[in-house]
Amino acid sequence: MKVIALNGSPRLVGNTSNILNEISDEMEKEGIETEQIQLYSSEFTPCNDCRSCEIRGDGRCILEDDSLNDIIDRMRKADGLILASPCYYGAYSSQMKIFLERAGMVLEKGDMGLRRKIGGAIAVNAHEGGSAVYSQLVYWMLRNGMLVCGSTPAPVVTALNSPQYQNDKEGMKGVVGLAREMAWAIAALKDR
C-alpha cells in the first residue's frame, strides 16, 4: 500500500515538508509507504486549456517537458494521495495551482485515474486562510472522484517559520488523525 504526498511549499525544509514527514511516520506505523514529491523541484508550464488531453484521450498532457505526466502516473498507481500546501495570500501556492490545474484537466478529460482513491488535505497558514486552502484542496479531490478523509480537528496547522508547526497541538492532532483515517480507509478498501 502506498500514498503519494504532494508538497506545494517552495521550502525544501519547512513546516509543510516537516508535517508530511510526520504523517509519513504515522502511515508507516500502519504499514503504508509514503512518497513525498516536492512540486517546486519542477518548473511546470501553466495549462493553456488547449484540450489536447481531451482530443487524445490517453490520460497525458501534451506538454512533455516537465515531470507532470510522470507524477500523474505515480498518483494513478498509488492507493492514496495527500495534498499539502502553505497558504499564500488566501490560496494554495502558485506551484500547487499550476500542477492541479493541468493534472485535473488531464485526469478529467482522460481516465479519471484517481477515482475511488483515498485522499487527504493539509493546509499550513501563518495567520489566516488555512481553511480556504483546505477547502480548495478537498474540492479538487472530490472533483476527481476521490474518497476524501477528514479529521477532527481539521488538519490546518498554524505556523510561520519551521519548526513552529510543533507548537500547534490541535493542528497536529488533526494531521495525526488524518493519517489514521486514511490508513484505515486504504486497508478497508484493500480488504474488499
Residue whose C-alpha cell reads 485526469 in the numeric block: 107
Q: Are 15 and 164 in contact (CB under 8 A)?
A: yes
Range of the domain at 150: 2-190
pTM of the prediction? Answer: 0.97
pLDDT of 95: 96
C-alpha cell at 123: 493546509
| Residue listed under C-alpha cell 515538508 | 17
Per DSSP, 88 falls in state: E
Quote the pLDDT of residue 143: 97
- List per-residue pLDDT tens for the chain, 192 residues long: 999 999 999 998 999 999 999 999 999 999 999 999 999 999 999 999 999 999 988 889 999 999 999 999 999 999 999 999 999 999 999 999 999 999 999 999 999 999 999 999 999 999 999 999 999 999 999 999 999 999 999 999 999 999 999 999 999 999 999 999 999 999 999 877
CATH of the domain at 88: 3.40.50.360
Strands 91-92 and 33-38: unpaired
* Dihedral, 38, 42, 43, 45 alpha carbons, nearest 10: -90
pLDDT at residue number 183: 97
- In the chain the first and final C-alpha atoms are separated, in Å, by 14
Q: Please report the pLDDT score of residue 139 as a whole number.
A: 98
How many domains does the structure of the chain reveal? 1
